[in-house]
Amino acid sequence: MDVHLDAEPHTRPTTARSRELGQELHLARMRANLTATSVAEGLGWSAGKISKMENGWRGTSSWDYGTLLGKLGADHQTRERVRRIASEQDIGHFIRAHDGRLSDNLLCLMIHERAARTLRVYEPMLIPGLLQTEAYARAVIAQYGPLTAEQNEFFVEARLERQQVLCGTRAPDAVFYIHEAALQSAVGDGRVMHDQMMRLAFMCEWKRVRPRVVPLCAPGHAALLHSYNLMTFAKPIRPVAYAENDVSTVFTEEELAIKAYRRKGDVLESLALDAGQSRSVFVHWADVYDRREDRDGPELAQEQLQR
């Protein structure tokens, strides 16, 4: 998927919503297998107008959106998505319903994660989706309710595809704060958890990915209650944060909200173990789950918690 998060001097600043809208238009044109030049010529528009619309730079009328989508032969669902996004006001916060899917499939999430320069993530009860092994992801996704085999594969593949943002020369500088409660909450069997813990331990050696454990002994703090992800980008794109619940994801770029998330990140940084200590904790829990698998029972994990 091409991602357009550029900015042009002397134009109205883009927003997370306008960039999502522009990407919807871009994808519609890709599905129609048409070039921007040919579309512009067919409509009597300039190629620059198409480019600005697809990059979220240009405010335009509902008539122009309808005209463009008609030229592209867009289906009803695409037209409805564009109409809904275009009708929203930029107030700094907006919600995207999952509509029976998982957040991994949200276009707004994907385009911003792929363009981010930095990621700061916190999860209190699960391993972050970007760090999950395939087996752990399957076990988590299976808990969302009855799924067909096709749906299950679709959701798993979407999660694994998301993880590609952490690879390559353009990978963001990413810090993941993981509460130790998430390490002791077994998802799947002991082998699944062992392999997940070892993956996290190996990731401590990665150059641009830093999993950090918030230990059980850390003092209580309001910053530990809710998960979040704060993304920053090349200027002049403003930071975007998102937080997920069971049925929707809330995105925000409002200044005071971003400051609150930065303060949250400072608290997490102060509570988290360093890279070496975090790696030791991951290895410890890998050993716990390895021996639990050998003994085929929960008694060992309980012993470890009581020590």
State the span(s) of the chain assigned CATH 1.10.260.40. Answer: 16-90
CA distance 80 to 114: 25
Top-level class of domain 16-90:
mainly alpha
Q: What is the DSSP string of the chain?
A: --------TTSPPP-HHHHHHHHHHHHHHHHTT--HHHHHHHHT--HHHHHHHHTT-----HHHHHHHHHHHT--HHHHHHHHHHHHS--SSEEEEE-TTS-GGG-HHHHHHHHH-SEEEEEESSS--GGG--HHHHHHHHHTTS---HHHHHHHHHHHHHHGGGGSSTT--EEEEEEEHHHHHS--S-HHHHHHHHHHHHHHTT-SSEEEEEE-TTSPP-GGGSS-EEEEE-STTSPPEEEEE-SSEEEEE--HHHHHHHHHHHHHHHHHS--HHHHHHHHHHHHHHHHHHHHHTSSHHHHHHHH-
CA distance 50 to 47: 5
Q: How many CB atoms lie within 10 A of CB 184?
A: 15
pTM of the model: 0.86
pLDDT score recorded for residue 12 = 60
| Token couple for 250 | 């809330």
Beta-ladder partners of 179: 214
pLDDT score recorded for residue 8 = 45
Q: What count of Cα atoms within 13 Å lies in the side-chain half-sphere of residue 140?
A: 23
pLDDT score recorded for residue 172 = 97
CA distance 187 to 143: 10
pLDDT tens figures, 162-178: 999 999 889 999 999 99
Looking at residue 30, its amino acid is M
State the span(s) of the chain assigned CATH 3.30.870.10. Answer: 94-306
pLDDT tens figures, 31-57: 999 999 999 999 999 999 999 999 988
Give me the tens of pLDDT residue by residue for the chain, a chain 307 residues long: 444 554 444 446 789 999 999 999 999 999 999 999 999 999 999 999 999 999 988 677 888 999 999 999 999 999 999 999 999 989 999 999 998 888 999 999 999 999 999 999 999 999 999 999 999 999 999 988 788 889 899 999 999 999 999 998 899 999 999 999 999 999 999 999 999 999 999 999 999 999 999 999 999 999 999 999 999 999 889 999 999 999 999 999 999 999 999 999 999 999 999 999 999 999 999 999 998 866 554 454 455 555 4
pLDDT tens figures, 136-147: 999 999 988 788
In Å, how far from its chain's centre is CA 236? Answer: 21
Residue 120: phi, psi to the nearest 5? -130, 115
In terms of CATH, what superfamily is 94-306?
Endonuclease Chain A (3.30.870.10)
